Structure 1
Amino acid sequence: MNTYTAFLHIHSTLRWVALALAIFVTVKSLMGLSGKSVFGKKDNIFAASFVGTMHLQLLLGLILYFFLSPITESALSDFGGAMKNPELRFWAVEHTTMMVLAVVAAQIGRSKSKKVADSAKKFKLQAIFFGAALLLMLAGIPWNRI
């Protein structure tokens, strides 16, 4: 197995962990908000795990994008031509943009919720930003390429 294949396999497998965590923390935040729950240590651990997994996915994706992927190498060598090819455009622009935005949304939600003491406000911020990250992830996952 070459380096590209190894990184791609790890990145592709880790997406399921990131997606599961995104669903879990978003649903948990919505439940916490509606149930007047206290934001506890486990909530903090799951939120941090979700954002950490997103950062790892971003790092792996950037390594693939800029250093290892023959797909993006082809797209970047003729960007104008790549924009006319739906497959190349997806990998060069659409997937990358949506996933970077998902990481940004997740990080903002984590950062803002950490600064708030009130549990309801923590859950609300997480529900909004983690929910947005989840939607961006769902939009950016290559479903027809799985």
Structure 2
Amino acid sequence: MYTGIQHLHSYMTYLVLLGVLISFGSALAGMSGNRPFTDGDRKRGLLGLIPAHLQWIIGLILYFISPLGASNFSGAAMKDSVSRLYMLEHPLTMVIAVVLITIGYSRAKRMIGTQGGFKSIAIFYGIALLLILIRIPWNAWPGN
């Protein structure tokens, strides 16, 4: 079961990145097009929100069943960079990224008819995307 969830979590990352990139790119295009934020634009924001939340739930499960997660939490593990990445840095950064995506989407959905929706998604999803990219454990990804 652990291996299956670990692979699901790894491959789901592609959907998260794709969804956040599409939402972010759409918001940038909307901002430069100087048009109002519509319900269709709001739905494109869901392409980043939904996979990020699903990934967070899968990651939370993985955190508690993995030998690298919560069970590894100790002072000695904090001195090891790989252990620290899996038990603290990666989960904390991803939680912050999901919170930023949620805030960006929540603010944008109240701004239908204005330019502010694009700006909200562009800023919050952009910061979240950056955080996701810097804290993915690239060396442990399938295929590496």
- Is the counterpart of residue 37 in structure 1 residue 35 in structure 2? yes
Separation (CA, whole Å) in 2 of partners of 1:32 and 1:73: 41
Give the deviation of 1:84 after TM superposition: 0.6
Give the deviation of 1:117 after TM superposition: 2.8
- Is the counterpart of residue 70 in structure 1 residue 81 in structure 2? no
* Partner of residue 120, structure 2: 125
Among 3, 10, 13, the residue aligned to 1:12: 10
Give the deviation of 1:7 after TM superposition: 0.6
| CA deviation string 1:27-84 (max 9, x = no partner) | 1101110111343343222211311111111100010101x101125522xx101101
**SS of corresponding position for 1:71:** coil
Q: Report how many residues are paired.
A: 141
- Is the counterpart of residue 21 in structure 1 residue 16 in structure 2? no
Separation (CA, whole Å) in 2 of partners of 1:37 and 1:24: 18
* Partner of residue 44, structure 2: 46
- Residue ranges of structure 1 left out of the alignment (5+ in a row): none
Tell me which amino acid in the other structure corresponds to 2:119.
Answer: K
Measured at CA, do residues 120 and 87 of structure 1 come closer, stay the same or move farther in structure 2, by a change above 3 Å? same
Give the deviation of 1:123 after TM superposition: 0.3
Separation (CA, whole Å) in 2 of partners of 1:115 and 1:38: 12
- Residue ranges of structure 2 left out of the alignment (5+ in a row): none
What are the residue-to-residue correspondences of 1:34-113 with 2, within 5 Å? 34-66=32-64, 68-76=65-73, 79-113=74-108
Q: Percent identity?
A: 39
8 A contact 2:28–2:122 mirrored in 1: yes
| CA deviation string 1:75-113 (max 9, x = no partner) | 22xx10110111100001110111000000000001001
Query: TM-score, with normalisation over the residues of structure 1?
Result: 0.90
Separation (CA, whole Å) in 2 of partners of 1:117 and 1:72: 40
**SS of corresponding position for 1:119:** coil
Separation (CA, whole Å) in 1 of partners of 2:114 and 2:132: 26
Tell me which amino acid in the other structure corresponds to 1:10.
Answer: L
Tell me which amino acid in the other structure corresponds to 2:56.
Answer: L
Separation (CA, whole Å) in 2 of partners of 1:14 and 1:37: 33
8 A contact 2:37–2:112 mirrored in 1: no
8 A contact 2:38–2:112 mirrored in 1: no
